[in-house]
Amino acid sequence: MGGRTLSAPLSELTTWDADWSGLRVVVTGIGLSGFSAADTLIELGARVVVVDARDTEENRAKADTLRIVGAVDVLLGADAVAGLPQVEGEAAELVVTSPGFRPTHPVLLAAEAADIPVWGDVELAWRVRIREGRKTAQWLAITGTNGKTTTVSMTESMLRAAGLRAIAAGNVGTPILDAIRDPEGYDAIAVELSSFQLHWTHSISPLASVCLNLAEDHVDWHGSYAAYRDAKAKIYENTQVACIYNAEQHETESMVEEADVVEGCRAVGFTTGVPAVSMVGVVEGLLVDRAFIEQRKDSAAELASMADLGEYAPRHMVANALAAAALVRAYGVEPVAVRDGLRAYSPGDHRIQPVARLEDILWVNDSKATNPHAAAASLAAFSSVVWIAGGLSKGVGYDDLVSAHRGRLKAVVLIGVQTEDLRASLARHAPDVPVIEALPAQTGEQEEPVTSAEEVMARAVAAAAAVAEAGDTVLMAPAAASMDQFTSYAHRGEAFIEAVAGYVGERQAQEPEEGPEQAQEPGQAQTPKEP
């Protein structure tokens, strides 16, 4: 890599104040993480080229913004990502990639062939987190197949309840580099990390870390379940104080046992049952700590009660709360802040979100259930379910999900363009459960094909309404990604809420003489009945 103008090698670029000037960097993607990475590198004085396959009006506007910030070249369109571009006529010295780019992408394969290091935005953030004149935040790192966003939000709430300046960042919405560059700085950052982000990390050393759970997911991106598992396991590498694992899933404990951690780092388990020594868990309706107290051999510290989680707390929500509690206890937060943080926590949209109840039928939006493991948690919360499911499967199977929950299924309404695997699993393990296609196969004599995402969901809601009866739950928990028919899981969830609102409105208009309203306004919380 000739022509280097940088005085320090990449291995010495470990603070904001290191000499980044002149470093030739290619950034892949101009989405949230890519934009923040490019913006940061420009501020550091690096020479940057950004590439993105989507030549859209939005991306052109982002490119214009980056050019205003500093010297940068932005290449958009399919040709821009056909290979690794040069930077101002010279070979790149570093690639900073966005999570959406698979390791097999031509740009990244070209970097590998040229022996050019590839970092993710999380790796870059770790290297620039130390800056003269600003406080350096401790990182509490969270991953898992499901529950990441809930846990990172609970962790943030507990830290703030302790009077700390804290933020949830990373895969949760706020790019980690934006949090790092905050002028005031933070005491702690709850960092949500996807398997994609972890794949491209090399040197992060969190104060405490947790893998909440592990189930087959993103096999298409990683190439195999083993590679997906290995990416998740990187969360524990170089952890300083506590590696927190799911005591009810041995695989996460094995990850901790295999990890190369800082000397003195402890293994701490969480369980929804009674905790052993060096665990957090539940005793007689109380969340308790037997890990971060001196007398843990024969006593436990009360952290919170089940009531502090709200009137309705499914098992996986309790597990997430315990994981968050272990993270902040590793930081040194007092038990009262755990309780107050849970009381202040508000669940986000699209995660087991009741949106309406009409004629004793509950309608629930769990669009964030983008894989079978997440959908299983939703199905387990209800006893009689009309299940709206389907989408992009990401290479995972549905046999275990259907087999475990077939007794709860009254009917299944299929959405999505990849329903073959789910339909086959239903035929094998729940052959007596009616399966309804939201979009029947089109023929030349039928109406025009449905292309609107909103119409897809409207038809699914109508099909579910036709079979649901009093006491049933209509649950939209797709167990698949959304990008086949929707722009995101949030778009899919909003389409469901809108379709349910339309259905409820029509039903009320048909029966104006019915006295008091029986339906709750869509989007408001409604407590589901215990199964």
Q: What HEC string does 437-505 produce?
A: ECCCCCCCCCCCCCCCHHHHHHHHHHHHHHHCCCCCEEEECCCCECCCCCCCHHHHHHHHHHHHHHHHH
Q: Is 29 annotated as a binding residue?
A: no
**CATH number for the domain harbouring residue 93:** 3.40.50.720
144 in a labelled binding site: yes
Query: What gap in Å lies between CA 340 and CA 335, rounded to an integer?
Result: 9
> What's the CATH code of the domain at 432?
3.90.190.20
Please say which residue of 320, 344, 368 terminates a domain.
344
Q: Is 149 assigned to a binding site?
A: yes
Residues 203 and 275 both lie in one domain: yes
Q: Is 147 annotated as a binding residue?
A: yes
Quote the strand ranges of 54-144, DSSP E. Answer: 72-76, 94-97, 118-120, 138-143
In a shared domain, residues 289 and 141: yes
525 occurs within a structural domain: no
DSSP class of residue 132?
A: T
Distance CA 476, CA 464 (A): 10
Residue 523 falls within a domain, yes or no?
no
Which domain range does residue 390 map to?
A: 353-441+448-510
Does residue 307 share a domain with residue 193?
Answer: yes
What is the domain count for the chain? 3
Tell me which amino acid residue 42 is. I
Q: Does residue 203 lie in a domain region?
A: yes
Q: Which of 223, 276, 215 is nearest to 249 (CA)?
A: 215
* Residue from 104, 107, 105, 106 nearest 95 by CA: 107
Q: Does residue 4 lie within any of the structural domains? A: no
Q: Compute the distance between CA of residue 3 and CA of residue 26 in angstroms, rounded to an integer.
A: 16
Q: What are phi and psi of 156, to 5 degrees?
A: -60, -45
Question: How is residue 186 written in tokens?
Answer: 């933070």
CA pair distance 485, 94, nearest whole angstrom? 36
Do 497 and 365 share a structural domain? yes
Query: Of 312, 344, 376, which closes a domain?
Result: 344
- 16: helix, strand or coil: coil
Contacts of 433-441 spanning 24+ positions with Cβ under 8 A: 433/406, 433/409, 434/410, 434/467, 435/411, 436/411, 436/412, 436/463, 436/467, 437/413, 438/388, 438/413, 438/414, 438/463, 439/415
The pLDDT value given to residue 486? 87
273 DSSP 8-state letter: S
Tokens representing residue 74 in the block:
């932005």
Q: Where do we find the tokens 């940057």?
A: 48
- Integer Cα distance of 388 and 495 in angstroms: 13
pLDDT tens for the chain, residues 1 to 531: 344 444 468 999 999 999 999 999 999 999 999 999 999 999 999 999 999 999 999 999 999 999 998 989 999 999 999 999 999 999 999 999 998 899 999 999 999 999 999 999 999 999 999 999 999 999 999 999 888 989 999 999 999 999 999 999 998 778 999 999 999 999 999 999 999 999 999 999 999 999 999 987 777 888 899 999 999 999 999 999 999 999 999 999 999 999 999 999 999 999 999 999 999 999 999 999 999 999 888 889 999 999 999 766 778 889 999 999 999 999 999 999 999 999 999 876 777 788 889 999 999 999 988 888 889 888 988 889 999 999 888 778 899 999 999 999 999 999 988 788 999 999 999 999 999 998 754 434 444 445 588 888 999 999 999 999 999 999 999 999 888 788 888 899 999 999 999 998 888 877 654 444 444 444 443 333 332
Whether residue 144 is found in the same domain as residue 197:
yes
Distance CA 48, CA 27 (A): 7
Residue 56 placed within a domain: yes
Count the Cβ atoms, other than its own, within 10 Å of residue 277. 11
Structural domain contains residue 119 = yes
Q: What is the CATH number of the domain that holds 211?
A: 3.40.1190.10
pLDDT confidence of residue 528: 38
> Do residues 246 and 181 share a domain?
yes
| 519 inside domain | no
b (16+ CB within 10 A) / e for 500-530 = bbbbbeeeeeeeeeeeeebbbebbeebebee
Residue 183 and residue 288 in one domain: yes
529 is an annotated ligand-binding site residue: no
Q: Do 337 and 364 sit in the same domain of this protein? A: no
One domain for residues 303 and 405:
no
Domain termination residue (choose one: 344, 363, 395): 344
Residue 10 phi/psi, 5-degree rounding, is -55, -35
Alpha-carbon gap, residue 439 to 175, rounded angstroms: 37
Residue 252 marked as a ligand binder? no
Cβ(474)–Cβ(353) below 8 Å: no
Residue 528 in domain: no
In terms of Cα–Cα distance, which of 482, 439, 484, 481 is closest to 459? 439
Q: Do residues 228 and 359 share a domain?
A: no
CA atoms of 207 and 339, how far apart (whole Å):
22
Question: Could you tell me if 257 and 194 lie in one domain?
Answer: yes
Residues 72 and 146 in one domain: no
> Residue 145, annotated ligand binder?
yes
